[in-house]
Amino acid sequence: MESTPLINRVAESGIITFNLEDFYPEADFISFDIKDYLFHGLILKEKDFRDALKSMDWSSYQGKIVLVGCSTDAIIPLWAYMLINQHLVNVAADVYNGTEEEYLKMYYRETLQKIDYQQYKDQRVVIKGCSNRPVPANAYAHITSKMQPYAQSIMFGEPCSTVPIFKRPRVL
C-alpha cells in the first residue's frame, strides 16, 4: 500500500492571515487612582496634591501604560490630570485618562491607521478571530473598512474555517 503525502491546502491557498493580536501593546497596564489623594474622599486640594506627587516614587510606573482615573464619584479638576501626566511623561510608556478598554479602542484605531494597506491589494485575507488578549470589537470593524478597498476578499476566523465578510465582484 503506497502512502500519499499530506498536502496542506491552507498553506497553498495564498490566503494571508492578519492577526490583530500582533498589534497589542507590549507594555503592561497599571492604574493611577486619584481617589487616594482626595481630602475626606471628596475634594482634591491643589497644594496637598502637588506635594504628594512631588514626593512620590514614580519608578513603579516605568515603561508601563498608566491608566489615570478616579474610582469614586468625586469631581476632579482638569489640571489634576495635567499634573499627573507631567510627572509621568518621561517615565511611562504611555499615559491615558480612562479605562484599559477605552485605551485599547484608541490605541488600535491609531495603530491601524499607520498600516500601508496597499500590500493587501488583490489578496485574500483572513482576519484572525481567536485571541488570547482583549482585542476590542472596533478594531475588527476598523480593519475591515481599511482593508476593503484593497483586498480581493476578507474573511473572519481561521484559514481552515472562515466566515466570509467581503468579496470584490469579478469584473468581466
- Condensed to tens digits (0 to 9), the pLDDT of residues 11-22 reads 446 899 999 999
In one-letter notation, the amino acid at residue 157 is: G
In one-letter notation, the amino acid at residue 104 is: L
| pTM, two decimal places | 0.85
- Condensed to tens digits (0 to 9), the pLDDT of residues 66-86 reads 999 999 999 999 999 999 999
**Do the strands 153-158 and 161-167 form a parallel or antiparallel pair, or are they unpaired?**
antiparallel
Give Cβ neighbours of residue 134 (< 8 Å, ≥ 6 apart). Answer: 100, 101, 104
90: which DSSP letter? T
- Answer for the pair 104, 96: CB distance below 8 angstroms, yes or no: no
In one-letter notation, the amino acid at residue 4 is: T
39: which DSSP letter? B
Confidence grade of residue 7 (pLDDT, cut at 50, 70, 90):
very low
On the CB side of 101, CA atoms within 13 Å amount to 2
Q: Residue 146 and residue 151: Cα distance in Å, rounded?
A: 10
- Condensed to tens digits (0 to 9), the pLDDT of residues 128-156 reads 988 889 999 999 999 999 999 999 999 99
Q: Is 119 helix (H, G, I), strand (E, B) or coil?
A: helix
Residue 74, classified by CB atoms within 10 Å of its CB into exposed (0-12), middle (13-18) or buried (19+), is: middle
C-alpha cell at 30: 497599571
